[in-house]
Structure 1
Amino acid sequence: MHCELCLSEHAEDVLCDNVHWTQVGLSTQDVEGEPPPVDLTGQTLGHYKLVRRLGAGGMGTVYLGEQTRIGARVAVKVLHPHLAHDESLRARFYAEARTVNVVSHPHIVHIFDISEAPGGIHYFVMEYLEGVPLSRLHRPVAPAQLVPLLAQACDALHAAHRCGVVHRDLKPDNLFVVRHAAEPPTLRVLDFGVAKARRPPTEDETAAGIVLGTPAYMAPEQWAGQPVDGRADIYALAVTAYYMFTGQLPFERGQMAELALSLGPVGPVPPHVLAPAVTPALSDVLLRALSRRCDDRYPTARDFKEALLAALAPPQAAHSVDEPPRGSTPVPSHTSSPSPSLSLAEAETPAEPVSVTPPLTWTARVRRRAGTSDVEVRCTELSKGGLFMCCAEPFPRLFTRLEFTLLLAGEEVECVGEVVRHVDSVQARAWSMSPGVGVQFINPSARLRDLIHRVQPHRRGTPAPPAPPSEAHL
């Protein structure tokens, strides 16, 4: 299976200059003996002069173009001349332009001309965008900055899905953040080159299918070669969100590969365990969108958008300003900084309440090596996936297995977990939290899952937490 690799992250010549980037949306193909791309810089195609080569991939080359009559800047995508004789490849090349024009949405890159120049040169002309692909933003990105951009991506996908088009290759490289001088940044979805309408493909289209998606972002049904619908795009967007929020992928090789190759249980670490700025509510939204079964995900991109925005918004209707919901923690607006070439809108910082209810805490007795006594630690951020143990440095090494007894709802339950995250004292001060380690549950028992369900912070009637023990070394 050939997989797409977007040049915007891996080729130096994608840089337009020190500040400006352009969308590329190309794919590479590891084919031995394939002729190198032809550089058409300086030539004129129709009314467009090719000023500078921006990037090249398996299907074509993108140039910075200039409209010869009015001087407007555009991006011109040219099919490689050595592929132009293949009718099926020409059809796939032009299918991208037709697909984009069918959807016609403000958050999808606009293609406004398609033509053939003398000599059998096939090309189409796109709007030239100034900004950066999402992959170039500094990670982790704060939810207040990222969620509005994800919502715009959902709007674009919803419009595409309503037209019967599934993108099939969403990833950070194909989501372009556009800069505006005095306005918040906006997002464009790029590269519909592997998009597919919900109809049976012809034999030629199947044979020409040199790209099937990017493994780490592909939904399980796409990995398995089954028919896909818009829920595959929802899955890919959730992988993208997880990566931008936490700095790591939920499944490095893709979910299907992990199921086939992993020796242990397969499941993503809840995002809020890896990134304290992500709330448990937002974490739950992403985990649902990452469900292995497409029926368990959000039915539409609009539903996914509404869930993202609801998880980001503070629950002001149910609580007064000076009485925030129990278990809530302030999300610092400075947990991440955008790329120097892009100024994302700063999140509005709410007024600090007169009194802040501390987050719910639980007590865990962690067993240490033989001959030493157990250590009591305070735990926060409890979820069905794991919890956060507040403790002093030095921390246990990452992936250390911990056995501990957790006190929940007046009952002791035995647990096993693995250390997946360190938050040192410097990070803790920046994030207004305690230092410690994030722990992912390993094969949680049915009783543990039931108790967590009963004491989750967002549920009413949560019992008062025990008095927290002093911080200790694990």
Structure 2
Amino acid sequence: MTPSPRVYATPPPLREAEPPIDLVGKHLGPYLVVRKLGSGGMGTVYLAEQTRIGARVALKVLHPHLGQDASLRARFYAEARTVNLVGHPNIVRIFDISEAPGGLHYFVMEYLEGVPLSQLSRPMEPQLLAHLLEQACDALDAAHRAGVVHRDLKPDNLFVVRREGQLPSLKVLDFGVAKARGPKPQPALTVVGTVLGTPAYMSPEQWTGQSVDGRSDIYALGVTAYLVATGRLPYPRGQMAELLLSFTAPGPVPPHTLNPRIPVGLSEAILRALARRPEERFATAFDFKQAVLAGVNAPPPPAPKPMLGELESSPRGQTPVPMSTVCLRTPRAHVSRPEAGPSRSWVARVHRRSGTGEVEVQCIELSRGGLFMCCAEPFPRLFSRLEFTLLLEGETVECVGEVVRHVESAQASTWGMPPGVGLQFINPSPRLREYLLRLRPNRPSTAQAPVALAQECPLL
């Protein structure tokens, strides 16, 4: 059976594309084109002035070679009708649609000063991320209640508007491939089995050409939130389709594992939006918004429970020390190989805060920056300090480290390593520095380690 054709958000021209035209300095109706703002698959956006009153607007002009196709013209004008159907302050406003001499089709939008979300630095502060996600959810909720599914939500289509002395606001752009479910039957702009969207942000149901609803937009917003929160996409581009369409493949790494500044509640909300099955995601964008706000405003989690032996002797609120791991597995990157030499591990005796003794744990990944302690949950809190004695070739060295990374059991299993915590040394002693300098040339090179672990598991 021949698979259905796939058509993405940028439609291919029906004939060889004509050279682009430059409209700067020319008039389109009452508008003088001032400068080019950007260009996409469907058209080019210009800054223009209304010559009579001097008001600044944005003109989106359909590429002339696409304007000769009736179905593409219909899709272009459908964007303006769709936006006006929803009418929400977090969706860009479109004032007019028109055709200029020479077959130039365009519509007039509000001019926004700011940048697309794709151009902001990543990872983003959790509070700012939640603030922008809240507005995106409001816009999507209004669109979905109006029967409109965006179908191409991504950072380039989320515009961050900056205003002096105010928090930035967000506008959703480009409803060019949106689908409206109006009360009256409308001529179909797509056919069953086609796929519209941008691959990295498409939901599994989009990949397979199934019908989509608002939960597909929630998935795309989840991908966007994951990227902005962690600085990377939830799935590698080369494996995206394979992982998305397999319900048994492991899910994305939790955002708070990659970026400890992300609250666990916000991390969990993003992961739920990324569920492969639509029924496992949030039912509405409003529900996603509520989970985001609850996650970022939640009080800090309670201190992990102390070990059984510390229940009576450890004062409340003290940072716990790692517990010995029942089964210390050797990570794949440290398996003995002839070319890499024998694997290395070290022993640390972590001092209890209560002063009642020590806990002995195995350590790996010793470097000038720190080390990784193999231990069971509950973990010491992020950014807490641990004092420990490190056994180095029969000699003991006193150390202090700050917890900078958690690797929970589920993720450790995916990476093929023990669970535990990454520590960064604080003011290492001259003896420790001397040992680490001598150790470094003997460590396996990154090129010898498995690529997946080297890229996805920067422990320290």
Offset from partner CA, 1:318-373 (integer Å, 9 cap, x none):
xxxxxx73259xxxxxxxxxxxxxxxxxxxxxxxxxx9753785444645556778
Aligned CA distance change for structure 1 residues 136 and 28 (closer, same or farther; 3 Å): farther
What are the superposed Cα offsets for residues 404-459 of structure 1, whole Å, 9 maximum, x if unpaired?
Answer: 975458xxxxxxxxxxxxx9x9xxxxxx95245746233699xx9xxx9xxxxxxx
SS of the residue 1:442 aligns to: helix
Alpha-carbon distance in 1 for matches of 2:205, 2:217: 11
The number of residue pairs the alignment matches comes to: 364
- Residue 273 of structure 2 aligns with an amino acid whose one-letter code is A
- 1:3 pairs with 2:8: yes
Distance 2:317 2:30 in 1: 63
Cα distance in 2 for residues equivalent to 1:134 and 1:79: 24
Task: Specify the SS of the correspondent of 1:124.
Answer: strand
Q: Give the C-alpha shift of residue 393 in structure 1.
A: 2.3
Partner residue in 2 for 1:157 = 140
1:78 aligns with 2:57: no
When residues 366 and 30 of structure 1 are mapped into structure 2, their CA distance, relative to the original with a 3 A threshold, is farther
Aligned: 1:223 with 2:223: no
The 8 Å contact of residues 273 and 282 in structure 2, kept in 1 or not, is answered as: yes
8 Å CA contact 1:366–1:374 kept in 2: the answer is no
Shift of residue 249, structure 1, vs aligned partner = 0.3
Partner of 1:88: 71
Deviations 1:178-214 (A, max 9, x none): 0001111100001000111237997751269997101
Kindly indicate whether the alpha-carbon contact (under 8 Å) linking 1:327 and 1:360 is maintained by their aligned counterparts in 2.
Answer: no
> Among residues 33, 42, 61, which one is paired with 1:59 in the alignment?
42
Distance 2:104 2:194 in 1: 21
Q: Report what 2:451 is aligned to.
A: none
2:128 aligned partner, one-letter code: Q
Aligned-residue RMSD, C-alpha: 4.1
Q: 2:21 aligns with which of 38, 53, 56?
A: 38
Q: Report the AA paired with residue 199 of structure 2.
A: P
Which amino acid in the other structure matches residue 290 of structure 2? Answer: E
Are residues 392 and 224 of structure 1, via their aligned partners in 2, closer, same or farther at CA, if it must alter by over 3 Å? same
Superposed, which structure 2 residues align to 1:424-439 within 5 Å? 433-435=402-404, 438=407
Q: 1:325 maps to which residue?
A: 302
**SS in structure 2 at match of 1:170:** coil
Residue in structure 2 matched with residue 136 of structure 1 by the alignment: 119
The answer for the alignment partner of 1:290 in structure 2 is 274
Q: Which of structures 1 and 2 has the larger relative contact order (alpha carbons within 8 angstroms, sep 6+)?
A: 1
Residue type of the partner of 2:181? R
- The equivalent of 1:148 in structure 2 is 131
The equivalences for 1:264-343 within 5 A come to 265-315=249-299, 325-326=302-303
Deviations along 1:88-129, one digit per CA (max 9) or x if unpaired, are: 111101000000000000000011111122332211000111
Encode CA deviations 1:244-296: one digit per residue, 9 max, x unaligned.
0100000133886133899x943211111110111222211111111010000
Structure 1 CA distance for aligned equivalents of residues 38 and 76 of structure 2: 16
- Unaligned stretches of 5+ residues in structure 1: 5-26, 317-323, 329-354, 380-388, 410-422, 426-431, 453-464
* Matched residue SS, 2:210: coil
> Percent same amino acid among aligned pairs?
55
Answer whether contact 1:288 1:297 (CA < 8 A) is retained.
yes
Q: What pairs with 1:418-429 in structure 2 (closer than 5 Å)?
A: none
Q: How does 1:79-228 map to 2 (within 5 A)?
A: 79-198=62-181, 205-206=189-190, 212-228=196-212
Aligned residue for 2:189, secondary structure, equals helix
- Structure 2 residue matching 1:393: 3-state secondary structure: coil
Match of 1:240 in 2: 224
Q: Given the two structures, how large is their TM-score scaled by the length of structure 2? A: 0.68
Q: Which moved more, 1:199-208 or 1:288-297?
A: 199-208
Check the 8 A contact 1:216/1:252 in 2, yes or no.
no
Change (3 A) 1:28 1:45: same
CA distance in 1, matches of 2:297, 2:108: 39
- In 2, are the aligned partners of 1:63 and 1:76 still within 8 Å (CA)? yes
Partner amino acid, structure 2, of 1:325: P
Cα gap change, 1:213/1:133 in structure 2, threshold over 3 Å: closer, same or farther? same
- Distance in 2 between the 1:377 and 1:48 partners? 72
1:393 maps to 367
Q: SS at 2:129's partner residue?
A: helix
- Superposition TM-score, scaled by structure 1 size: 0.67
The answer on whether the counterparts of 1:390 and 1:435 sit within 8 Å (CA) in structure 2 is no
Q: Unaligned regions of 5+ residues in structure 2, if any?
A: 1-5, 306-315, 337-341, 351-362, 386-400, 427-431, 437-458
Q: Which amino acid aligns with 1:268?
A: P
1:252 to 236, 242, 260: 236
Aligned AA (1:70): I
Q: Partner of 1:441 in structure 2?
A: 412
Deviation at 1:392, TM superposition (A): 4.7
